């Protein structure tokens, strides 16, 4: 019967009461809510951590090696944040890569646009103040009265720009102003372009 009562005492729960500053307690409650936990769960875990640390070093007294509740809480929060980062790192990196790619595409597009404007201005020294004209697209080539579709590389040679620039022009809708559009057909993964009728 003594064993039975001891087991019952171990499993019984008790209501603990202590004084703490209201501001500190409110911050603690808010942090627990942020971490999808409750104050009793976190406090219980902190007590377990405290007991484990003091069990590892039983000769140290509280004056020579104080275990700070704030330090334990900070370490626990650091573990939770580290776990969150590990779980969400892939999404974070993916978003960062997408953002940087968008910026790089924009920079390359602007650089090509400036380069083309400068080249146009250099080729027409007699009229430096006039705005550069867009190159006129060549008439579409036909084979046996069948319209020939062009890849970005072929179309770039016709329009005097690079193949990646053709893709950019198509994406921003400026390719149609130059008389060409996506045909909706592909050669493997390569987009084929056709002149606008």
C-beta atoms surrounding 117 within 10 Å: 12
* 5-28: b (≥16 Cβ within 10 Å) or e: eeeeeeeeeeeeeeeeeeeeeeeb
Mean pLDDT of 117-136: 64
Residue (of 80, 81, 52) closest to 67 by Cα position = 52
Global pTM value:
0.29
What CA–CA distance (Å, rounded) separates 49 from 69?
A: 10
> What DSSP string describes the chain?
-HHHHHHHHHH----------HHHHHHHHHHHHHTT--HHHHHHHHHHHHHHHHHHSTT--TTTS---HHHHHHHHHHHHHHHHHHHHHHHHHHHHHHHHHHHHHHHHHHHHHHHHHHHHHHH-TT-TTSPPPPPPPPPPPEETTEEPPB-HHHHHHHHTS-HHHHHHHHHHT-TGGGTEEEEEEEETTEEEEEE--
104-113, 142-151, 180-189: range with lowest mean pLDDT? 142-151
Tens-digit pLDDT profile for residues 64-95: 445 577 777 788 877 887 777 777 777 778 77
Q: 195 Cβ partners below 8 Å, 6+ apart?
A: 137, 139, 140, 147, 179, 180, 181
Q: Could you tell me the maximum CA-CA distance found in the chain, to the nearest angstrom?
A: 111
The Cα–Cα gap between 31 and 28 comes to 5
- What would the pLDDT profile of 2-50 be if each residue is shown by its tens digit? 444 445 555 688 888 878 888 888 888 888 898 888 888 888 888 888 8
């Amino acid at each position: 019967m003594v064993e039975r009562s001891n087991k019952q005492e171990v499993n019984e729960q008790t209501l603990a009461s202590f004084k703490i500053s209201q501001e500190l307690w409110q911050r603690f409650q808010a942090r627990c809510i942020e971490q999808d936990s409750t104050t009793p769960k976190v406090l219980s875990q902190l007590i377990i951590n405290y007991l484990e640390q003091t069990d590892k070093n039983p000769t140290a007294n509280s004056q020579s090696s104080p275990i700070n509740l704030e330090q334990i809480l900070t370490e626990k929060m650091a573990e939770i944040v580290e776990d969150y980062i590990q779980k969400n790192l892939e999404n974070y990196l993916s978003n960062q890569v997408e953002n940087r790619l968008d910026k790089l595409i924009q920079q390359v597009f602007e650089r090509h646009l400036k380069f083309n404007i400068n080249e146009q201005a250099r080729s027409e020294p007699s009229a430096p103040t006039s705005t550069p004209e867009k190159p006129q697209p060549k008439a579409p080539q036909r084979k046996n009265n069948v319209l020939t579709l062009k890849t970005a590389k072929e179309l770039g040679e016709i329009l005097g720009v690079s193949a990646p620039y053709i893709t950019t022009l198509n994406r921003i809708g400026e390719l149609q102003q130059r008389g060409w559009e996506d045909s909706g057909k592909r050669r493997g993964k390569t987009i084929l372009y056709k002149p606008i009728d």
